[in-house]
Amino acid sequence: MKVKALMTLSVTAVSVTALVASGAESQGRTRSISQSSAAQAAQQHPQIVAEFGGEDTSARSAYVRSVGSRVTAQSNITGGGNAFRITTLNSPVMNAFAVPGGYLYVTRQLIGLMNDEAELASVLGHEAGHVAARHSKQRQRASILSQILSVGAAVLTGSSELGQLAGQVSQGLVLSYSRSQELEADDLGVRYIAAAGYDPLASAQFLGSLGAATSLEARASGRNDERSTPSWARTHPLSSERVTRATQKARATGRTTGLRNRDQFLAQIDGIMVDDDPRQGVIDGRTFRHPDLRLRFTVPDGYGMQNGTNALSIVGQGGQAQFTGSAFNGSMANYVAAAFQSVVGQQGRVNFSQPRTTTIGGIPAAYSTARVSTQSGEVDLTIVAYQWSANSAYHFALITPAGAGIGPFEAMVQSVGRLSAAEAAAIRPRVIDVVTVASGDTVQSLANRMAYDDLKLERFRVLNGLAANSSLSPGQKVKLVVYGTR
Ligand SMILES: [Zn+2]
């Protein structure tokens, strides 16, 4: 969540229905993106951008678009590269996805894992392949709370759907493709990048990097949130079959070389942020800290966090929560009432008791609980609001089983506190630093410069697509992750 972008929660549900699948894309036959799906994509676009940290509008974003249009021009979509809109998202989640209207999205976190332009082309080609092949998918996109309200009591009564919901929340977009759809998109991606002049082996190589990144994240210690687990691997299930097949398809193109544009690509991504953007707050294990708001809190053990532009979502077995802020006019009673209304929507009615006031960590606070009916039963909705300053306030909206009230979130609600200036200043972004290997540098010596406490060597290898026995040559360029400045 960004300081300046805090706004009232929206519970508007947006549903996207892909066109009916019509089997494999036939080569040579052109297809148009329908006006209705393009209009839907345009309408949905601002919400996707907000949920994934905002759009990266730097020169790098223009570069990503130019690579994308070069690749999508090879698809069978009428209008070629002009039919697609490609957006780079300022998100710490490793993901890329497409919507049927021809909008393709790739996160900065996924771009940071790539090693050359051909790999970037392969991801955009794969996503364009999903659009071109009209992969049918019923996707429900909604704000987190409306998702929670719609599944409501079923989730809170201990059904296994909760785990699924948590997974969906943390991957942001509720979808995954079938195995055959993945393979078809891979095939099309390989075909497009080869036709665009890129080395078709880049697809298999990037799938390999993604697999390595997935394994590494599983090993990284102290991470019970799923935000850095490569979401692309979950929404586009990875398998050794995909790597093998992408390799075979690359060979079948008859093209044994092609553009890699490694140096141009590395120059473009030098300085790109990885992991959390401190302007939106950072998640470290169970703790959320926001250096600009100067606040912190800790979520319950076993609960995951997902940070969006407007709100932070917290999901676990005993309930779900969202942390955000909105307009504050000096009255905490009014603030709490507005927070309830924002959850149930302007048309919704919610009966809550007069907010009670208290002090939490020296901060004036107010809270109230209401019983809310959902499609699948009743839940408790609690608002806990903090009067942060004379003209700012923040709050949790908590959803728990009916009768549970604040329930498992008691300690979290009590953990809200202020960061000192020194604590806030110590929070720095991590960025990619492209360096030239000097004589005497080794994989280990370079890995020692990685801005992580654990698994430095493994992280360096995965970041650079290096095998365990790879060595480096002086003059070669490699990526490091270092601390940047704010
Ligand atoms: Zn896919």
Q: Which range is least confidently modeled, 51-55, 278-282, 440-444?
A: 51-55
- Does one domain contain both 323 and 391? yes
Q: What is the pLDDT of residue 176?
A: 65
Between residues 147 and 349, which one has the greater pLDDT? 349
Between residues 155 and 373, which one has the greater pLDDT? 373
Would you say residue 13 lies in a domain? Answer: no
- Does one domain contain both 40 and 181? yes
- Does one domain contain both 263 and 282? no
Would you say residue 6 lies in a domain? Answer: no
Would you say residue 158 lies in a domain? Answer: no
Distance (Å) from CA 219 to ligand 1 centroid: 25
Q: What is the pLDDT of residue 223?
A: 47
Q: Which helix (H) or strand (E) holds 109?
A: helix 108-113
- Does one domain contain both 206 and 283? no
Would you say residue 166 lies in a domain? Answer: no
- Does one domain contain both 264 and 330? no
- Does one domain contain both 194 and 248? yes
Q: What is the pLDDT of residue 136?
A: 60
Contacts of 27 (CB under 8 A, 6+ apart): 76
- Does one domain contain both 459 and 357? no
- Does one domain contain both 209 and 186? yes
Q: What is the pLDDT of residue 186?
A: 95
Q: What is the pLDDT of residue 20?
A: 30
- Does one domain contain both 292 and 244? no
Domain limits for position 453: 430-483
Distance (Å) from CA 347 to ligand 1 centroid: 38
Q: Tell me the CATH number at 454.
A: 3.10.350
Distance (Å) from CA 433 to ligand 1 centroid: 29
- Does one domain contain both 61 and 100? yes
Strand order from edge to edge, sheet including 304-307: 304-307, 312-316, 319-326, 392-401, 377-389, 363-374, 356-360
Q: What is the pLDDT of residue 150?
A: 39
Between residues 399 and 413, which one has the greater pLDDT? 413
Distance (Å) from CA 421 to ligand 1 centroid: 44
Would you say residue 145 lies in a domain? Answer: no
Q: Which one of 273, 290, 310 terminates a domain?
A: 273
Between residues 222 and 233, which one has the greater pLDDT? 233
Distance (Å) from CA 34 to ligand 1 centroid: 21
CA distance 323 to 312: 5
Would you say residue 115 lies in a domain? Answer: yes
Closest residue by Cα to residue 112 from 350, 464, 376, 420? 464
- Does one domain contain both 261 and 322? no
Q: What is the pLDDT of residue 397?
A: 93
CA distance 410 to 298: 11
Q: Which one of 240, 273, 306 terminates a domain?
A: 273
Between residues 144 and 92, which one has the greater pLDDT? 92
The number of domains in the chain is: 3
Distance (Å) from CA 232 to ligand 1 centroid: 8
- Does one domain contain both 438 and 409? no
CA distance 380 to 373: 9
How many CA atoms lie within 13 Å of 371's alpha carbon, on the beta-carbon side? 5
Q: What is the mean pLDDT of the chain?
A: 82
Would you say residue 160 lies in a domain? Answer: no
Q: Which one of 387, 410, 425 terminates a domain?
A: 425
